[in-house]
Amino acid sequence: MRLANCPQCAQPTRADLLEKMGGICPPCLAGFVLEDSREDAVPVDDAVIHVLERVRAGRQQVRRESPAMRSRMLAATAAAFALALVGYIILFRPTPPSSQVPAAGARPTSTEAPANPRTTFWRLTNADDLARIGLDGEIVVGAYRDRALIHAWAPTLLPSDYVLRFRLRYEVDPGDEPWIFVALGPRRLVMFPEGNHVMSIAVDDAAGPIELMDDRPMPVGHPAPGRWSDVEVRWSQATRQLQFTIDGEVALGVETGDLGGGAWGFAFGGAACEVRVCDVRLSATR
């Protein structure tokens, strides 16, 4: 089908229809027929006039509606653009860390410091190459025998009231007896897990040898070589009570002198293949 433009309105029209209608499109012809009052107007019958009236009315309706349709399309386009812009701002604007929502199943984070942070820094003394600080502050003491005490000092001082928790593991050869000290200010708690399996309170006197007192039997099988044990030390300044538990069993409960406010840490003597202390946490209880 070949198209040609009407010379009157420039609308594309079928070429064969233009030839039949005298070179102009039906809407233009309708205008001439219905509005021209000249004596030489094209004579047409009523049926043709009715058809041409419908054609012209349809063309005029389209022309009247076109501006409104264009306005609605422009308004819809503007609304869609505004909505897309708002969505972009909401989705991609920077979010402050404090207002971010954790993903489903993720552990929520806290900006506050934990009440009992793990001690990860230690000052080793008299360690030579036998002791080192491992991952997460783990104290690792290699094989030693009959030598001066190896110390691991914490960087903080003891509170007036506190609870100290840590995990302990040791390895021995037959006949070995490790000495494991928990230094609390002027006092030291000493564990002798092998041999007679007791613990004592020692007074740290720089002018002379360590004096042991209050030997107490330790819970049977706690601690034991090759197995981790959970240790807890509690001190109350008001009652002067010291409590020492291993794997939930009380090993020592006595009234003693002040154990708050001083330096604290661990020491290792005697003989052992290896001693490990990890997950050390000190918390003030008042």
Report phi then psi at 4, rounded to 5: -145, 155
Q: What is the pTM of this model?
A: 0.59
pLDDT at 7: 74
Separation CA 135–CA 179 (nearest Å): 24
pLDDT at 204: 66
**pLDDT grade for 34, boundaries at 50, 70 and 90:** very low
Same domain, 31 and 151: no
Same domain, 138 and 247: yes
Whether pLDDT at 16 is above 70: yes
Closest CA relative to residue 284, chosen from 156, 194, 170: 156
Among 48-52, 142-146, 167-171, which is the least confidently predicted range? 48-52
**pLDDT grade for 41, boundaries at 50, 70 and 90:** very low
Same domain, 138 and 276: yes
Q: Classify 250 as helix, strand or coil.
A: strand
Separation CA 60–CA 66 (nearest Å): 10
46, 74, 92 - which closes a domain: 92
Establish if 102 belongs to a structural domain: no
Domain range spanning residue 74?
A: 3-92
Bridge partners, 4 (sequence order): 13
**Residue whose tokens read 């021209």:** 36
Establish if 104 belongs to a structural domain: no
Whether pLDDT at 38 is above 50: no
DSSP at 238: T
Closest CA relative to residue 285, chosen from 229, 242, 231, 230: 242
Residue 223 preceded by cis peptide, ω within 30: yes
Separation CA 217–CA 249 (nearest Å): 12
Same domain, 11 and 66: yes
Separation CA 52–CA 27 (nearest Å): 7
Residue 45 or 5, more confident: 5
Establish if 239 belongs to a structural domain: yes
Residue 119 or 73, more confident: 119
Establish if 108 belongs to a structural domain: no
Closest CA relative to residue 197, chosen from 215, 174, 172: 215
**pLDDT grade for 35, boundaries at 50, 70 and 90:** very low
Establish if 109 belongs to a structural domain: no
Same domain, 131 and 88: no
Residue 272 or 49, more confident: 272
Same domain, 195 and 133: yes
Establish if 79 belongs to a structural domain: yes
Residue 148 or 97, more confident: 148
What digits encode the pLDDT tens for the residues 76-135?
Answer: 777 777 777 766 666 656 555 444 444 544 544 433 444 568 888 999 999 988 999 998
Among 20-24, 57-61, 175-179, 217-221, which is the least confidently predicted range? 57-61
Separation CA 283–CA 51 (nearest Å): 99
Whether pLDDT at 202 is above 70: yes
Q: Which two tokens stand for residue 215?
A: 């030997």
47, 70, 92 - which closes a domain: 92
What digits encode the pLDDT tens for the residues 224-242?
Answer: 999 999 999 999 999 999 9
Question: Would you say the C-alpha torsion 149, 155, 158, 162 has a positive or negative sign?
Answer: negative
Residue 137: Cβ-neighbour burial (10 angstroms; 0-12, 13-18, 19+): middle
Q: Classify 126 as helix, strand or coil.
A: coil
Establish if 217 belongs to a structural domain: yes
Establish if 43 belongs to a structural domain: yes
